[in-house]
Every structure is written in C-alpha cells, then in structure tokens.
C-alpha cells in the first residue's frame, strides 16, 4: 500500500471520531439489543482461546477477592479480572478497570472497556508492518486498538481514539493475551539487574508493564475528576501574573491530530518547535477539532500562549508536565530472582514488533539486552 493512501486512511479515521461508524462495524453499540446484533463469528480456535482467557480471569478474580489486595500489587498478575457480562458471548471481553491502577482515574467513571481477540486481518496488518516507518508503526498500533478495543458509556460507544496515549501499549498486550490465551506464547528478553548486575528475564505482558505515576498528593490537589482536567494556579508556585493553567490528558485522537498537523506544517515548509509540539501541545489541547483549518488555528492559539510564557512560567510548566505524565515510553518491571529488588528495563524490539502477534512458534525471544 502506498504511503499516501495509508496516510489518507488515517486522516479519514481521525476525521471520524464520532464512532458511529465503528460502532456499527463492531456491533458493541447494540449490546442491549441482542436480537438485532449479529454476533462476531469465532473460529473454534478463537472460541477456545477466549474460553481459556476467561477461565484464567475467573480464577484470578477469585484469588483477588480472597486476598483483597490492591490489584496493581498482585504477586502473580497473570492477566485481569473480568466482570460477568452478556457481551462475553458476543466476542467482547470486559476489562476490570481497577487493574489499571491510578491510570483508571484518568477516564470518566462510567466508561467501560472491552477487548476482543485480534482478527486474522488485524494480525496480517500487523505482520505487514514496515518498522522503519514510524508513522506506519503508529498507525498499525492504532489499528489494533480500533479493531479490538471498545469503550462504552452506558449505551453510548466512545471512540477508541479517546484512550490515553500511555494506555495504548497496555491494551495491545491485553489483546495479545486474549488472542493467545489457549496457546500461551511468551515473549521474553534478558537484561541485567541494575542492583546486582545478574541477568534477569523480563516477560512482556500487560501486568509487567511499569508505570510512573504522578505523586498522590499532586493528583489529589490538582486533578479535577469531574471535568477530567488538571487545574493549577501558577501563583501557588510563586509564578505571578499568569492565568490559571488547565491541562488535558493526551489521547490517541489528539496525538493523531498533532501528527497530521505536523505533516501539514512540513509540507508547507514551516519550522516546528519540537519542544512545544512534543512536550506541551498534547497537554494543552482540550478537544482536537476534526476540521484541519480549525485545528491549525487551535494550535496557533496555543502556541501564542506558549510563546508568551515568562521564564519562571516555562520552568513551572516543564516541571508540571514531567510530574503528571505517566510514562513517556514503555518500560517493563520484574523482580530480580538474585537480589529480590524490583527492577525496570526498557521494552525494546530488536526483532521487531511483529513478534507480538506472530503465531508460528510457541516461545518468541526478543532482544539481547
């Protein structure tokens, strides 16, 4: 597929964030209307995989309720807990939000998340990925989310693109775990323990993803869960004569709008302020307009505000963004079997991200680090 076609496709998706189209496509929008709903046909393998996944989830849930421990501190967190729901029979598996830990707080309370196994088509797209093309990689990641993740607010389907950017990889791993649940394929790689320097094996799975959370008191003080925004008064931090700050969590929709916008700027031979675009802009957009010209103006307005910041304000903003960001990149955690410390390693794909959905062999190894 030519790059431009690919790109245009993405632009179309972004232009269609309303999700009506995807709701029809995947049927979750009609959960309660079971008669009208045409269930996704599962092959016997997919059915077996789904059942194995659900069985594990049920056991996990039972264990969890016995232990009554915080979900993100489970000793052997295989996968997730699953709530009883009719949609299971329709191919969509509900995700228990609590396992997202603090990340769950950055979604409206009523949102429910569902996943389904990657379809053959999704896996083909994945395997066809050109890993040298960052834009295409980004699109392929989004495609898996689009096809295999549903968000619902009551009866309303929320576009997949409203996932927070830092949750994308977690959901991809969830989908992978569901897809291969009956035929467990692990992806492991070696790294040296930062504490004792012994070699440890990291396993790539959703529950071993490592997240850095904002400080609890920072969230308590400045996160406005009712309006889903960060509110900070610069004066509180000794920065005078600046307007109160409102920031919004970066989502896949906003990320894509920014990528598209950056492409347009590039075509117009306009220079980009990289710090502004990558660090501040994703947080300063409330809702990305679907209209290109309007989005251009949105960015222009925000850049004006950014450029008007005093040095202390810039310093404060840098500090804030650093502290409220959950993971700028994917990292894994493991407990070192040699020294017992919890250690962190970067997720790297020297053999490519293709291994995530590769199906030929049981155990895939990636990376020498």
Positions in the binding site for Zn ion (CB under 5 A): 193, 195-196, 336, 338-339
Direct distance between the N- and C-terminal alpha carbons of the chain, in angstroms, rounded to an integer: 34
Of 339 and 358, nearer to Zn ion (C-beta) is 339
* Min dist. Cβ of residue 204 to Zn ion (A): 19
Instruction: Evaluate the CA torsion angle 11, 100, 60, 359 in order and state its sign.
Output: positive
Q: In angstroms, rounded to a whole number, what is the distance separating the alpha carbons of residues 164 and 154? A: 20
* Min dist. Cβ of residue 188 to Zn ion (A): 17
Q: In angstroms, rounded to a whole number, what is the distance separating the alpha carbons of residues 246 and 167? A: 22
The tokens of 226 are what? 């009712």
Of 199 and 273, nearer to Zn ion (C-beta) is 199
* Min dist. Cβ of residue 104 to Zn ion (A): 31
* Min dist. Cβ of residue 193 to Zn ion (A): 3
Tokens 């969509």: give the residue: 92
Of 62 and 196, nearer to Zn ion (C-beta) is 196
Of 281 and 343, nearer to Zn ion (C-beta) is 343
Strands 331-335 and 342-346: antiparallel
Angle between helix 134-148 and helix 3-14 axes, rounded to 10 deg: 50
* Min dist. Cβ of residue 343 to Zn ion (A): 6
The per-residue DSSP string of 279-296 comes to: IIHHHH-SS--SSHHHHH
Phi, psi of 203 (to 5 degrees): -110, 130
Of 195 and 303, nearer to Zn ion (C-beta) is 195
Of 221 and 338, nearer to Zn ion (C-beta) is 338
* Min dist. Cβ of residue 330 to Zn ion (A): 21
């Amino acid at each position: 597929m030519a790059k431009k076609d690919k790109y245009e496709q993405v632009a179309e998706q972004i232009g269609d964030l309303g999700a009506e189209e995807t709701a029809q496509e995947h049927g979750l929008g009609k959960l309660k209307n079971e008669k009208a709903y045409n269930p996704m046909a599962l092959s016997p393998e997919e059915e077996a995989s789904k059942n194995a996944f659900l069985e594990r989830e049920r056991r996990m849930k039972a264990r969890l309720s016995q232990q009554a421990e915080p979900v993100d501190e489970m000793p052997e967190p295989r996968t997730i807990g699953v709530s009883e729901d009719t949609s299971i029979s329709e191919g969509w598996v509900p995700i228990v939000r609590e396992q997202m830990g603090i990340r769950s707080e950055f979604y409206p309370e009523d949102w429910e998340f569902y996943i389904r196994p990657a379809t053959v088509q999704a896996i083909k797209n994945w395997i066809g990925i050109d890993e040298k093309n960052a834009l295409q990689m980004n699109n392929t990641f989004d495609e898996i989310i689009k096809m295999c993740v549903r968000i619902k607010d009551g009866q309303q389907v929320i576009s997949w693109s409203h996932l927070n950017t830092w949750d994308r990889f977690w959901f991809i791993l969830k989908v992978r775990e569901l897809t291969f649940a009956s035929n467990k394929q692990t992806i492991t790689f070696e790294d040296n323990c930062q504490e004792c320097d012994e070699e440890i094996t990291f396993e790539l799975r959703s529950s071993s993803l490592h997240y850095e959370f904002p400080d609890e008191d920072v969230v308590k003080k400045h996160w406005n869960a009712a309006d889903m925004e960060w509110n900070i008064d610069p004066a509180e931090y000794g920065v005078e004569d600046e307007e109160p700050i409102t920031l919004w969590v970066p989502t896949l929709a906003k990320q894509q709008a920014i990528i598209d916008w950056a492409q347009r700027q590039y075509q117009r031979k306009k220079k980009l302020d990289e710090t502004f675009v990558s660090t501040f802009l994703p947080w300063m957009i409330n809702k990305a307009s679907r209209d290109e010209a309007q989005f251009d103006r949105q960015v222009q307005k925000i850049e004006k505000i950014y450029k008007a910041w005093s040095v202390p304000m810039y310093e404060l903003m840098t500090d804030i963004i650093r502290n409220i960001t959950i993971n700028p990149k994917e990292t894994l955690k493991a407990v070192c079997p040699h020294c017992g410390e919890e250690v962190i390693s970067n997720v790297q794909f020297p053999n490519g991200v293709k291994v995530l959905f590769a199906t030929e062999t049981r155990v895939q190894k990636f990376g020498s680090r």
